[in-house]
Structure 1
Amino acid sequence: MVGLSVGEKHFIQGGIAQDLRTDGRRRLTYRPFNVETGVIPQANGSARVRLGGTDVIASVKAELGKPSPSQPDKGKVNIYVDCSPTAAPMFEGRGGEELSTELSGALQHCLLGGKSGAGAGIDLSSLVVVEGKVCWDLYIDGLVVSSDGNLLDALGAAIKAALTNTGIPKVEVAVGASGDGLPEVDISDDEYLQFDTSGVPVIVTLTKVGRHYIVDATLEEESQMSSAVSVSVSGQGRICGLIKRGGAGLDPSVILDMISVAKHVSEQLMNKLDSEISAAEACEEES
């Protein structure tokens, strides 16, 4: 973890208490960020997000598969995050593996809801080709290139940008295919369907330091946290998932207030992210 002197700790905590953080931001202000799309040509969609000193990449690969028997009318999405050992000293060895597992699970929960699919921010029914027989499986891979805090929000933004950049090949199903066997399908090489990301949420993490909470915490600020709550919110203001980290307990009224703040902050973040994605897509088309 980040090694700070007693004076540095007091400086960080005192600044947050006065709504003036060490980098000049207020408690509910994100660092400047930018988005690049199409960074991995072999993928169906990809994006890179730089949020202050945090740098992450997300890629999407689409493959035809078979729907789960319990959810024949839905496709499948698998999310895996890898933390590069060079991103931070703490990622070397087991530390990186544990954080990768934690981030993968958190993103799965925030973007796909519970096991039943309730609260899912990604429309899995749009991935079905033939109900009960053929669907698209999306494999979403995240890579942490550099870490300076707030990895979950950055990865969530990168995944939303990568999904916006994703083209799903058009599929023609053979006429008259029936029975228990899998139908024959023809995958187009030049026709693609744009993935609908209107319901894909952004993730807002509120980190509690002392009596106050902040958004987009840096590594130094995260080292002083008592707890953190990550809320995924769709563009329509719907809560898609909520995760708490840290050992300190939170009063239910505090959690409700944090959710309210997260919904407010998510509107600004969503607008900024959408404009950055549009600009990145325009640059990709020009190049």
Structure 2
Amino acid sequence: MLSTRTRAGKSIASRFSAAAGTYDNHAGVQARVASQLTALLGTDRPVGSILEVGCGTGLLTKKLARIFPSAQICATDISSKMIFNAQKHFRSKKSILWIAGDFREVLDLGRFDLIVSSSALHWITPLEKTFRKISSHLKKNGLLVFGIMLKGTLAELHEARRNTVPAKAVQKELPPEKEVLNALKAARLQIVRKQRATYRDSFRSGAHCLKSLHEQGVTGGPFSSGRTPLTRSELTELVSYYDKNYKCVDGVYATYNVLYIVAEKI
């Protein structure tokens, strides 16, 4: 996630902290991403140390502790409240170090056999700098395994916003695949495996979609907000457009584009 020293970083941290208590009830796609990452991890090489970047409420952390029971895990997140909620799952697990803050600003993290991240790296910009920092914390031949949201995620919502309130478009787009791959190459992280997936989530209405996103904490930061907030009447117009144009059997839908990567430090 963005540094808490920046305005955008503070906005993201604040929104995720506010959503810490409701996140798990609405993070269906994020749970699927975490599950898919575990399928990519494999157990064919020894893993004694793991760094998780953006652990949130521990969706992936729980799986890591189960797959690698003897590994030392360092779990980081920009939101202290997310960390607090994640810790509740691990009262008896003493081999997990929890760090609330931007992992790039922690002075002595050390080096790890495995670094993982689920649905978080798109918040940590610029990507090339982020991957270089990750590489510095990987042992030689260590692995980076992650799932990242790509451009096209929540395309319906962004299109609705452009068509109803064009003057208040989001400040920044999620990265395309090519940007992610170029950033990995620049950081000397060699791709071992690459996989794309598109998920579709459904909601009773556009209003329920916005509420769900809000309770996941993803309505903060430059990917989700304009420079000025929407007014009540603008929100009403946006929801009406969404309801009309993105119908499905269960109400309305939202699309998520995810890139999965396994990369090795060379």
TM-score (norm 2): 0.31
**Higher share of residues assigned strand:** 1
Higher radius of gyration, 1 or 2? 1
Higher relative contact order (CA 8 A, sep 6+): 2
